[in-house]
């Protein structure tokens, strides 16, 4: 008998359910008897002992379902060792609830912050296996995360739809894509949809260069411009500020986000009408795309195999087109950034796309 716990932590995304289904189905199909404890709302469920027992029927029909059947929440790693409002030691509470149910392993699905806490629990002696989810694809140790491709598809569809109205009215359109620290999502959606300008956090932009790119298009007879902007895009001037100075500036920002700031500057310099579209949490929602269904299922199946073999302390990742196990200590606390000199950036520039640099 194997007793496993499941929890999904952090922001939700597509294919969380597909990944959990992959874990459980692979274990059921091995012939091993298992008990599955689903901890509710991320680490909060593990801290306070909120869970429900899951059986095979709970994993039927969820391959195509977005979100997570267990619920999710954010439990910041920086406060994980701080007592809660009632003085509860959260780390000790998680360990207690793990041992109280005699778990053989806890399977944790999440992104960067989630993996920090997962590695802490490993260091505290718990058997942990993790699966990499995030629409940002910024998790260290894996070439791909599930949720990413589904989010790319949604952001691409938004920009595709903007093209016709931008053309009809001869406007500049900005589409703000999710991504506070990295630009993988914005870059891929921008490339896929034929955006003319792409602004990402890794390449600070010069607003004059952005305006130059718009004017070049006008000189060539183009009546409109499409700009894909990551929500964490930053100007060259702001990139020179200290972290503290930049946070202070953001707190006093006149505009609701960087996209509106860029729009305002473009209107001042060109006189063109600029419209901003923010798809927001749409990018996390809906049914996972076929790629993510397959990918998450594969990762889940491999996680199930690790548990049956008693191999713990790993994230199931994807490198060089192969599913691999990555030690958690190599993953925790590291962010995978988009390299400004990466070949995909160079190729995008060959296609005439401006990055404002």
Report the pLDDT value the prediction gives residue 15, as an integer from 0 to 100.
Answer: 97
Instruction: Please determine whether the domains at 2-147+288-331 and 149-284 fall in the same fold group of CATH.
Output: yes
Spans of all domains in the chain: 2-147+288-331, 149-284
pLDDT band at 127, cuts 50/70/90? very high
pLDDT band at 165, cuts 50/70/90? confident
DSSP conformation class of 337: P
How many Cβ atoms sit within 10 Å of the Cβ of residue 35?
Answer: 16
Catalytic positions, written as ranges? 136
Task: Name which of 240, 24, 285 is nearest 147 in CA terms.
Answer: 285
CA 285 to chain centre: 12
Task: Name which of 66, 40, 67 is nearest 51 in CA terms.
Answer: 40
User: If you count them, how many residues does the chain have?
Assistant: 357
C-alpha count within 13 angstroms, C-beta hemisphere, residue 301: 10
- Which CATH topology does 149-284 take? Rossmann fold (3.40.50)
Strand partners of residue 110: 132
Full strand arrangement of the beta sheet holding 197-199: 197-199, 225-230, 172-177, 274-277
**Residue 175 and residue 193: Cα distance in Å, rounded?**
11
| Each residue's pLDDT tens digit, 5-25 | 999 999 899 999 999 999 999
| Each residue's pLDDT tens digit, 25-61 | 999 999 889 999 999 999 999 999 999 999 999 999 9
Task: Name which of 243, 274, 238 is nearest 259 in CA terms.
Answer: 274
The pTM score is 0.94
| Each residue's pLDDT tens digit, 254-313 | 888 999 999 999 999 998 889 999 999 999 999 999 999 999 999 999 999 999 999 999
Average pLDDT, the chain: 95
Exposure string of 220-259, with b = 16+ CB inside 10 Å and e = fewer, is eeeebbbbbbbbbbbbeebeeeeeeeeeeeeeeeeeebbb
Q: Give domain 2-147+288-331's CATH number out of 3.40.50.450, 3.40.50.300, 3.40.30.10, 3.40.50.620.
A: 3.40.50.450
Instruction: Please report where in the chains the tokens 């997962």 appear, as a residue.
Output: 118
- Phi then psi for residue 85, to 5 deg, are -65, -20
**Residue 259 and residue 235: Cα distance in Å, rounded?**
11
Mean pLDDT of 61-80: 94
């Amino acid at each position: 008998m194997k007793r496993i716990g499941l929890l999904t932590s952090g922001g939700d995304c597509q294919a969380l359910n597909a990944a959990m289904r992959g874990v459980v189905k692979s274990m059921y199909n091995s012939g091993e008897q298992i008990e599955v404890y689903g901890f509710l709302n991320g680490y909060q469920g593990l801290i306070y002992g909120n869970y429900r027992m899951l059986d095979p029927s709970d994993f039927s029909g969820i391959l195509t379902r977005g979100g997570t059947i267990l619920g999710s929440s954010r439990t910041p790693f920086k406060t994980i060792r701080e007592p809660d409002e009632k003085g509860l030691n959260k780390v000790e509470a998680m360990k207690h609830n793990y041992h109280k149910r005699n778990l053989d392993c806890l399977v944790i699905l999440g992104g960067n912050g989630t993996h920090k806490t997962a590695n802490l629990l490993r260091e505290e002696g718990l058997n942990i296996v993790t699966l990499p989810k995030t629409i940002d694809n910024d998790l260290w140790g894996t070439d791909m995360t599930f949720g990413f491709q589904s989010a790319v598809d949604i952001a691409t569809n938004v920009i595709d739809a903007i093209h016709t109205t931008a053309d009809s009215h001869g406007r500049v359109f900005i589409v703000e894509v999710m991504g506070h620290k990295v630009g993988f999502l914005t870059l891929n959606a921008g490339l896929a949809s034929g955006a003319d300008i792409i602004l990402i956090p890794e390449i600070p932009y010069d607003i004059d260069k952005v305006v130059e790119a718009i004017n070049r298009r006008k000189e060539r007879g183009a009546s409109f411009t499409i700009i894909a902007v990551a929500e964490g895009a930053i100007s060259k001037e702001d990139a020179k500020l200290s972290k503290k100075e930049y946070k202070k500036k953001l707190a006093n920002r006149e505009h609701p986000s960087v996209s509106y700031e860029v729009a305002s500057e473009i209107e001042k310099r060109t006189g063109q009408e600029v419209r901003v579209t923010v798809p927001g949490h749409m990018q996390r929602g809906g049914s996972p795309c076929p790629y993510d269904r397959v990918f998450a299922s594969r990762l889940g199946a491999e996680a199930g195999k690790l548990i049956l073999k008693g191999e713990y302390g790993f994230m199931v990742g994807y490198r060089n087109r192969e599913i691999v196990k990555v030690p958690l200590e190599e993953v925790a606390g590291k962010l995978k950034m988009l390299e400004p000199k990466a070949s995909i950036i160079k190729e995008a520039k060959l296609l005439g796309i401006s990055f404002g640099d």
